[in-house]
């Protein structure tokens, strides 16, 4: 059985005024998942031509310490407005979350979703 994981609901507004920062989604337990197909969509930005990067991260640590998270590759990149290439991940650990890197002085409307399938 498949289920949708919504890391960032449709058109979540994220941004920063000065320094760049990372935006983290909520954490999802995927113990029963064997395959994850994910993509990120940027609907609008405050600055054109800037590349937005989204990364899925995984961990087995139920304490969710920042040092315990590992970036999954490949990452999702969108230059300006558009949809990233769908990426497929397998052999995942128990918990996943999304991390979106926000360049300095940038605001954007973004959506990050995945289709999860059992092993």
Q: Where are the domains of the chain?
A: 2-117
- The per-residue pLDDT for 58 is 95
- The per-residue pLDDT for 5 is 94
- The per-residue pLDDT for 66 is 76
Nearest-CA neighbor of 15 among 103, 82, 112? Answer: 103
- The per-residue pLDDT for 30 is 92
| Backbone dihedral angles phi then psi of residue 90, each to the nearest 5 degrees | -140, 170
- The per-residue pLDDT for 18 is 73
- The per-residue pLDDT for 112 is 94
pLDDT per residue as tens, the chain (119 positions): 789 999 998 878 887 777 778 889 999 999 889 899 999 999 888 877 788 899 999 999 878 777 889 999 999 999 888 899 899 999 999 999 999 988 888 888 899 999 999 87
Angstrom distance (rounded) from CA 83 to CA 25: 18
Burial, 98: exposed, middle or buried (Cβ in 10 Å; 0-12, 13-18, 19+)? buried
Burial, 105: exposed, middle or buried (Cβ in 10 Å; 0-12, 13-18, 19+)? middle
Angstrom distance (rounded) from CA 102 to CA 95: 23
Top-tier CATH class for 2-117: mainly beta
């Amino acid at each position: 059985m498949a289920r949708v994981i919504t890391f960032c609901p449709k058109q979540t507004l994220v941004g920063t005024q000065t320094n760049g920062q990372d935006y983290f989604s909520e954490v999802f337990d995927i113990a029963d998942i064997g395959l994850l197909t994910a993509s990120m969509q940027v609907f609008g930005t405050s600055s054109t031509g800037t590349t937005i990067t989204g990364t899925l991260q995984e961990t087995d640590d139920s304490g969710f310490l920042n040092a315990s998270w590992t970036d999954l590759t490949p990452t999702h990149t969108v230059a300006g407005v558009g949809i990233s290439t769908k990426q497929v991940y397998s052999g995942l650990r128990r918990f996943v979350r999304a991390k979106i890197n926000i360049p300095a002085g940038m605001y954007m409307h973004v959506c990050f979703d995945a289709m999860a399938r059992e092993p």
